[in-house]
Structure 1
């Protein structure tokens, strides 16, 4: 059972939207705890936390498409 749960976790870590990782980097904490927060929030609010997660994933993806970080003036 534990192996099955780890396989699912690794699948979502590889193919996820990196929302938890990005928030964890900004907050200076581990991504595992941010993921647990989203899981507990989704259970407590009957899926509202998952909807927030997907909305944030969409917004972060949209921000990455619009905003391109340039290192110097000559990258134009």
Structure 2
């Protein structure tokens, strides 16, 4: 049974640029959500707060992107 730690996950992400476009951030959040889902299923409820936090960040990013799209649409109408 292979085990990994949070520092393993952090090391994997450390090779990527900190300032990223929103699309790349969304892809990273999606990947993190998949990983934390596996952690929850494998190791149980102690990992659930991580899943919920990443899920909330993904929802907030989607909400922000939707609002920006609505703002752009309104400006295009003028």
Short-chain TM bin: 0.3 to 0.5
**Greater percentage in helix:** 2
TM-score, with normalisation over the residues of structure 1?
0.40
Higher-RCO chain (CA-CA 8 Å, sequence separation at least 6): 2
Indicate the structure (1 or 2) with the bigger Cα radius of gyration. 2
The normalised TM-score by structure 2 is: 0.39
